[in-house]
Amino acid sequence: MTEHEAFFPATGMPDRDWWSALWPDPEGTLRALGITPDMTVLDLCCGDGWFTGPLAGLVGGRCYALDIDQEMLAKAREEATRTGAQLAGWIEGDARDLPALLPEKVDFVLVANTFHGVPDQSALATAVAAILKPGGSFAIVNWHAKPREETPVLGEPRGPRTEMRMTPEQTRAVVEPAGFELDKLVELPPFHYGAVFRLQD
């Protein structure tokens, strides 16, 4: 993994074995978050693409994927190619450099399993607001704020350190000042929730 100072702390991509056990139905997760086939979407901090291929499939290819780690992007791309998913664009870059990195505004931005590590979360929410179309949505998938030893997968505690985890209320508190309002909270068992925000006029 390529780590440098722009890399958000504690956001390394997990191993595929337990990740696939934890997220057996990525498309179902995306649908639960409210992503529909007519949307143009951004998978922000896409990692090795566990959600990217299914996301691109769901929206007929109107999907951008962005990650700072070239190696992760290459893996995501390889996996998408293997499954026949087409994307509108693969973008290597720092999420904080949005909106400049995207060629168009999108309807929906997904950031999964990453927001807990973002040093200035309000600034990232502001950057996301700038790439959304009016009324667009921003979904944050977070581990529930449970002690790490209470979130085992394949027999071992997983996920970010307990003290980095965010409640839905903490997530709202940093995202809403950037011009968003919470639209819905989605339970993503066994250990996650999705907070879906709508950009206000």
Ligand X SMILES: C[S@@+](CC[C@H](N)C(=O)[O-])C[C@H]1O[C@@H](n2cnc3c(N)ncnc32)[C@H](O)[C@@H]1O
Here the tokens at position 189 are: 């068992």
Q: Identify which range of 62-70, 129-137, 149-157, 192-200 contacts ligand X by CB under 6 A.
A: 62-70
Q: Judged by CB under 6 A, does residue 193 bind ligand X?
A: no
Using the 8-state DSSP alphabet, how is residue 130 labeled? T
Least separation in angstroms between residue 124's CB and ligand X is: 9
d(CA 61, CA 59): 6
Rounded-to-integer distance, Cα 10 and Cα 30, Å: 23
Pick from 35, 55, 80, 112 the residue near ligand X by CB under 6 A. 112
| Of 179, 180, 182, the residue nearest 167 (C-alpha) | 182
- My answer on whether omega of the bond before 160 falls inside 30° of 0, hence cis, is no
For ligand X, the closer of residues 114 and 137 by Cβ is 114
**Binding letters toward ligand X, positions 121-150, x by CB under 6 A:** ------------------------------
If binding is defined by CB under 6 A, does position 21 make contact with ligand X? no
* Token pair belonging to 161: 């350190």
- Name the residues that contact ligand X, by CB under 6 A: 6-8, 11, 13, 45-47, 50-51, 67-69, 72, 94-95, 112-114
